[in-house]
Structure 1
Amino acid sequence: MTIKNHESGEMLGHPKGLFLLFGTEMWERMSYFGMRGIFVLYLTQAATAAAMGWSHLSFEQLQSNALSILGTYAMLVYLTPVIGGWLADNKLGQRKAILIGCLLMMTGQFILGTPHWMIPGLERLFLWCGLTLLIVGNGFFKPNISTMVGDLYTPGDQRRDSAFTIFYMGINLGSILGYFVVGSIGEKINYQYGFLAAGMGMGIGLMLQLFMARRYLGDIGNKPAAQLALAKEGKHKPLSQQERDRIKVVLVLGLFTVMFWTGFEQAAGSMNLFAKYNTDLVFWGWEMPASWLQSVNPLLVVALAPLFASLWVRMDDREPNSPVKFAWGLLMLGVGFLAMVGAALQIDGNPSAKASVVWLILAYFFHTVGELCLSPVGMSMVTKLSPLRYTSLMMGLWYFFTGLANKAAGEVGRLVGEAGPLATFGGVAVSSIICGLVLFLLSDKLVDWMHGAEGKQARGTAIDKSPLSAPYAEIAQ
């Protein structure tokens, strides 16, 4: 069968559809990271506290409250993809789910951006409604955009890890836009205008899918994966032992991702507040917005991702397997927090002292190297190991682990105000390094459970260079 209305051909050695998904994800991430970059700052300002009825709280209590809200929000953003993935697999198809998600998130940002003076007495209601729409919209969007990247490639195609690394550049280009555009508007003009700008970015992503998906994706994502699996197999069979083993790999590595993202997501919480109140951000008399510092990570991803994508392909048989890449990611996270220990030592015992911004830049550098070893590789791995009829659901489950980590990140961030930055950052550093070493020891067993999805057996598979994955190429519409 041939896919109808599909734009054939490649760009930079990859299907053109990859770059449409790249662009959609870029604008969605601009919306998400832009909002996240200013959210705790918005919640801790005096005007917001007065509008929300939090004026009785001390500044330290406002910070703790903001981190708790951020942690719960981020957790739910990553938990709802389990439901959104199931609905896409069984009812909607990935394309419809993505459109619903874009629309809900755009509306949520606009609600958050409604100025307080327009809704006197309803500020708290609008806060919770906006956050709810963002959470539900993410649930529809997040697992399905990533799954469709995997659907562009046939099983065994060596370009898959490279494709997810390129896709990951879209995520980080979006976050750069978010931190600079939304962050600048929020911190220099008005935080709520920043939320409106984030909503406009989400609207651009919606337009891309509405007007370009048919041309560049063809029928990919139109039908629920469960229907495709049923058409291919004739009936839904019980999971085989091989499929169960592969799912176990996803679950085990998912537990280690909780540790990674618990540390990494300090960027939006405790590290953001440390940058705002404990770091010297004044250069030649001008104070840099604290949210700009978070852009160091995505800037480094954009710079380093092509190198990593090329590296994985060039290494060929010497390429590390996914569990080993994950272990390196955890070790790099730990090294990054050792830099934060240096920052904490610089201000330890002196409340008026300011840490050098160099410490945070070093931390973000090592965190970025760890992220590139773990995050795009993890998304690629889920599409390799998941049974066809559960692909979006398994991607949603993968994000479920990230959701748990985001809530844990909020709780760890609150410890900075209780145990202090030195003890907190040092504890995260030690825990990350230990987890990385444990994962090195488990890696061979996990590769056995993959049953040839990685390594020489997978590389030896004949590769159809068509940009369409096997399920879509074989099933009649």
Structure 2
Amino acid sequence: MPSAAPAEWKGPPSNRTFLGHPVGLFVLFLTEMWERFSYYGMRGLLKLYMVNYLFITVRQTLQGKAYDGAGNPDDVIGWGFVKSLLPTIDPSTLEQCVGEKVKALVAQNPGMLADMANTIASQKCAVEPNASLLYGAYASLVYLTPVIGGWIADKYLGQKKAVYVGAITMALGQFVLFGADNLFFIGLLLLIIGNGFFKPNIATQVGSLYPPGDSRRDGAFTIFYMGVNIGAFICNFVCGTLAALYGWRYGFLAAGVGMCIGLAVQFLGRNALAPDTLQERKSQAVQEEKQSLTANERKRVLALIILCLLNVVFWAVYEQQGNTMQTWADEKTFWPSWASSTWFQSVNPFFIFLFAPFLDRFWAWQSKRGSEPSSVAKMAIGCFILGGSFVVMVAGARIVGGDKGSLFWPVFCTMLLTIGELYLSPVGLSLVTKVAPVRIVSLMMGTWYLSSFLGNFLSGWIGQFYTSMPKEMFFLVLMVLGISAGTAIWLFNKPLKNAMQPESPHGGSSPVSSTAS
């Protein structure tokens, strides 16, 4: 079936700009900043909360402090069922882990009796590999539901309403975590559902602010990505500190308040945003969603799906930040007495807004010289840098051994890892809005996040080997995985580039800029 004529672009109702961009970009910037404050503030606590509080009976009531509380994990609704699905820990692995943890607990808590240390260590070692799996399952599912949320927005709600639904649902999830330990899994479920509505539809609105071919679009996604990471940077100083001073639940409360602030920003700035793609179709009475994709569109969609699948290993390695790298930061790193180990989660976003402007200028310089890599090539480079960053942790694990070590190791690794992320993640977001057919752009954005779903799930599975493998070998595996992912993307660079050429108004394919291919 022949395709309908492309819908006329309808930008934001206001022509006001700030720093050369539509004001709506900064509304979305602030909305996403506070949503990421909420997400990463909770994520930085999640694994430590499960291991040190929720799923053991002798509990650390204040994050990073003494084990001075008591509780029953079986009171958590659904824990019995979830536990039955999780693998049993190998006895020899458990014994080795307990020995190491007893020594660490006694060193960190002078005066702790050996029996108490053994009880805590036994429970922590039994739950830690499964907590890694649960962390990976949660972090993956929040990237699976955007496929459904994007489809619902494209077909029924529109991006704006979907963002409101998602924000309200996520705020409720955070408040459930604050209100009752036993509703832990219900809180996580609300967060997973809410993120499905929110995540694909906030990023899609950034692309809607700019007409096709606007050279500001890549820069807009870089600015938007900085907003993401400002929220991720500040959240751990707030949520982690509240959890350390007043208790875990107050960290979740702060995360919920942050989500409410983001919701308020989106509502107050709603008139600065462009119409939804759904609104455009209704206003023009063009029922594009009932039409088949053209051959060119199908080729572009297939290319995006292949690229998403190639990204899976990148995310599996990258997401160790909140999993095994956070465990290293908590158990194997010296921190000042006034600092919380959860602050480690702010290192990555700090480096993002430090390096993002530099890379933006660097790519512009390369573009003028005609040497800027294509988007697919940038993604391959990002994987190579990600893999290479774990050379630092291999060296750190060898030097630190069974003791604690300097902050240098996880921080320097994260600095390199962040550069790899900047070569892949914002570039991919921009690419989706350029290459995907307009009438399914939110669905394709959800498909982009599907790679994060699979990657996070794989991340949780990989993370369980942190307690059973020598640390040096574990980080070496991460290095090899990252470099292998880069090699795979690099090999597919040319065919993917050719497949992603958009359709010209006169039929056939039209060339695109290097950053769009």
Q: Distance in 1 between matches of 2:380 and 2:46?
A: 31
Q: Is 1:175 equivalent to 2:226 in the alignment?
A: no
Shift of 1:169: 0.3
Shift of 1:308: 2.1
Q: What is the 5 A alignment of 1:19-98?
A: 19-46=26-53, 49-50=56-57, 51-53=71-73, 58-98=123-163
Q: Distance in 2 between matches of 1:245 and 1:52?
A: 54
Structure 2 counterpart of 1:381: 431
Deviations along 1:326-365, whole A, 9 cap, x unmatched?
Answer: 01100110111111111211233xx3x1122111111101
**Structure 1 range deviating more: 265-274 or 423-432:** 423-432
Q: Distance in 2 between matches of 1:269 and 1:40?
A: 7
Shift of 1:392: 0.4
Q: Contact 2:378/2:423 (CA < 8 Å) preserved in 1?
A: yes
Deviations along 1:104-144, whole A, 9 cap, x unmatched?
Answer: 11111011011x5xxxxxx33x1111111111000000000
Q: Contact 2:289/2:439 (CA < 8 Å) preserved in 1?
A: no
Shift of 1:234: 6.5
Structure 2 counterpart of 1:157: 214
Deviations along 1:293-332, whole A, 9 cap, x unmatched?
Answer: 1211100111111222233334334321111000110011
Q: SS at the partner of 2:278? A: coil
Q: SS at the partner of 1:308? A: helix
Q: Tell me the percent identity.
A: 40
Q: Is 1:394 equivalent to 2:444 in the alignment?
A: yes
Q: What is the 5 A alignment of 1:26-425?
A: 26-46=33-53, 49-50=56-57, 51-53=71-73, 58-114=123-179, 116=180, 123-124=181-182, 126-214=183-271, 216-218=272-274, 220-221=275-276, 223=278, 227=282, 231-232=285-286, 236-282=290-336, 286=337, 288-316=339-367, 317-348=370-401, 351=402, 353-425=403-475
User: How has the CA–CA distance of structure 1 residues 273 and 319 changed in structure 2, closer, same or farther, with 3 Å as cutoff?
Assistant: same
Deviations along 1:136-192, whole A, 9 cap, x unmatched?
Answer: 000000000011111111222222221111100010000012111111111232110
Shift of 1:451: 1.6
Shift of 1:447: 0.9
User: How has the CA–CA distance of structure 1 residues 189 and 204 changed in structure 2, closer, same or farther, with 3 Å as cutoff?
Assistant: same
Q: SS at the partner of 1:195? A: helix
Q: In the alignment, residue 294 of structure 1 is paired with which amino acid? A: Q
Structure 2 counterpart of 1:15: 22
Q: Contact 2:226/2:352 (CA < 8 Å) preserved in 1?
A: yes
Q: Which runs of 5+ in 1 are unaligned?
A: 117-122, 461-477
Q: Distance in 1 between matches of 2:289 and 2:245?
A: 59
Q: In the alignment, residue 32 of structure 2 is paired with which amino acid? A: E
How many residues are treated as equivalent by the alignment? 443
Deviations along 1:406-463, whole A, 9 cap, x unmatched?
Answer: 1111111111111232222101101211221232232112111112589993349xxx
Shift of 1:225: 6.9
Q: SS at the partner of 1:49? A: coil
**Larger Rg, first or second structure (1 or 2):** 2
Q: What is the 5 A alignment of 1:434-473?
A: 434-451=484-501, 457-459=511-513
User: How has the CA–CA distance of structure 1 residues 319 and 225 changed in structure 2, closer, same or farther, with 3 Å as cutoff?
Assistant: farther
Q: In the alignment, residue 53 of structure 1 is paired with which amino acid? A: P
User: How has the CA–CA distance of structure 1 residues 86 and 234 changed in structure 2, closer, same or farther, with 3 Å as cutoff?
Assistant: closer
Q: SS at the partner of 1:458? A: coil
Q: In the alignment, residue 21 of structure 1 is paired with which amino acid? A: L
Q: SS at the partner of 1:223? A: helix
TM-score by length of 1: 0.87
Q: Report which structure shows greater RCO (CA 8 Å, sep ≥6).
A: 1
Q: SS at the partner of 1:318? A: coil
Q: Distance in 2 between matches of 1:322 and 1:368?
A: 17
Q: SS at the partner of 2:511? A: helix
TM-score by length of 2: 0.81
Q: Contact 1:312/1:319 (CA < 8 Å) preserved in 2?
A: yes
User: How has the CA–CA distance of structure 1 residues 361 and 94 changed in structure 2, closer, same or farther, with 3 Å as cutoff?
Assistant: same
Q: Contact 1:336/1:367 (CA < 8 Å) preserved in 2?
A: yes
Q: Distance in 2 between matches of 1:75 and 1:217?
A: 30
Deviations along 1:193-243, whole A, 9 cap, x unmatched?
Answer: 0000000000001111112112x115x227357657x84576743222211
